[in-house]
Amino acid sequence: MRFELTTDQRDFAASLESLLSAAGTVAAARAWAAGDHDPGLKLWQRLAEQGVTMLATEATPVEVVVAFEALGRHAVPGPWVESAAYLPVALGREVEGIGTVGAPRALDADVADELYAVVDGALHTATAGAAHVSVDRARHLSDVTVGDPVEHRDLAAAYDLAALATAAQLLGTGERVLADAVTYVKQRRQFGREIGSYQAIKHKLADVRIALDFARPLVLGAALVPTGSITERERAVSAAKVACADAAYLASRTGLQVHGAIGYTQEFDLSVWITKIRALVTAWGTPAEHRARILDSLVGA
C-alpha cells in the first residue's frame, strides 16, 4: 500500500523542517545534557507556537508522526512523547507547559510543570526524586513518588500514541544518521578513492535505506488505524515500533562503522543521534514486549 501525505501535511512538515534546521538543535541537545535547559525551553516554546503540543487533541495521529519524525531527525531534547502524545490523550487536554509521566522513573521531571505516574492502570500525580543517568545524556531520568489518583481517559490509547510517536522519532533519527553517513563516505578518502565507492560500504548503506523504507509505511499505516479497532491498533503500533527500532539501530551501527574512530567520540555530532537511538529503542515498550503483543493479537491469547 502506498501512503501519501496531504498538501497540508506536507506543508506542516516543511515548516517544521525549516524551523528546526535553523534552530541549532544539536547545541540545544548538548546544553540540555549539561543541565542548561534554556536553549531547549526556548525551542519548546517555538514548537508549541507551531502547534506541536496540541496535535494529539486537535489533529490526527498522522500529523503527530509527521512532527515526531522531525523531532527525531533534529534530536530535539525534552519529554516530547510524554508531554505532546501520551498526556494529552490520557488527560483529554493539552498539557499546560511541559508534562511528563513515568513509573518507576520519569523523563526530564526536573523541568516538568505537570508530573504524573501510572500505577496499576491508573494515573496519579507524582513528585520527582533521585536523578539517574541515561545512555542518552540529554534524557534525564528521575525516580518518582506516587501521589493521589487523577481523573483520566483511555490510558491504552495514550500508550499506543506514545509508542507510535517514539517509532516516528526513531524513523527520524535513522534517516538523519543515514544522511550523515552518506555525506561522510562521499568526503572521506582512502587509498586515493572515496570510501563510498567501495561496494561493501554501498551495500551496508543500501541495507539501511531499505530498512527505513520498509518501516515508514508501517508508521503511517498505524496512524491511520481507526481508534475503535483496539486489537488492530495495538498490532499496527507494535509492528511500527519494532520495525523503526530495528531500522534505526541498524542505521546507528552502520553509521558508526563507516565513520570509523571519529564516530566513537562524544564531540562528534553523530554521537547525539546514536545515543538517542539506543535510548528510544526500549522507550515505550521494548522490542520483545511489542513482538509479544503482535503475537498475542494474532493468536488471540
Q: HEC profile for 236-297?
A: HHHHHHHHHHHHHHHHHHHHHHHHHHHHHCCCCCHHHHHHHHHHHHHCCCCHHHHHHHHHHH
pLDDT number for residue 206 = 95
Give the span between the Cα atoms of 142 and 128, in whole angstroms.
6
Query: Quick one: angle between helices 230-259 and 155-187, nearest 10?
Result: 20
Q: How far apart are CA 87 and CA 54, in angstroms?
A: 11
- The CATH code of the domain at 1-80+154-301 is 1.20.140.10
Question: Which pLDDT belongs to residue 199?
Answer: 80
What value, to the nearest 5°, has the Cα angle with vertex 298 and ends 293 and 301? 70
Report the 10 Å Cβ neighbour count for 215: 26
| Residue in 129, 124, 158, 127 with CA at minimum distance from that of residue 141 | 129
Supply the pTM of this predicted model: 0.94
* Residue 92 grid cell: 483529554
pLDDT of residue 1: 59
Q: Give the separation between CA 199 and CA 186, rounded to whole angstroms.
A: 13
Q: Distance (Å, rounded) from C-alpha 291 to C-alpha 296?
A: 9
Contact status, residue 169 vs residue 77, Cβ threshold 8 Å: no
As given in the structure block, the three cell numbers for residue 260 are: 570509523
Separation of alpha carbons 282 and 286, rounded Å: 4
Q: What angle do CA 46, 65, 237 make, to 5 degrees?
A: 145
Q: Where are the chain's structural domains?
A: 1-80+154-301
Tens-binned pLDDT, residue by residue, of the chain (301 aa) = 567 889 999 999 999 999 999 999 999 999 999 999 999 999 999 999 999 999 999 999 999 999 999 999 999 999 999 999 999 999 999 998 999 998 789 999 999 999 999 998 999 999 999 999 899 999 999 999 999 999 999 999 999 999 999 999 999 999 999 999 999 888 876 776 776 667 888 999 999 999 999 999 999 999 999 776 888 999 999 999 999 999 999 999 999 999 887 777 888 899 999 999 999 999 999 999 999 999 998 887 5
Q: How high is the pLDDT of residue 301? A: 54
Evaluated on CA atoms 18, 96, 166, 156, the torsion sign reads: negative
- Concatenating the DSSP letter of every residue in 100-123 gives EE-SSEEETGGG-SEEEEEETTEE
Q: Which residues of 93-119 are buried (b: 16+ CB within 10 A; e: fewer)?
A: ebbeebbbbbbebbbbbebbebbbbbe
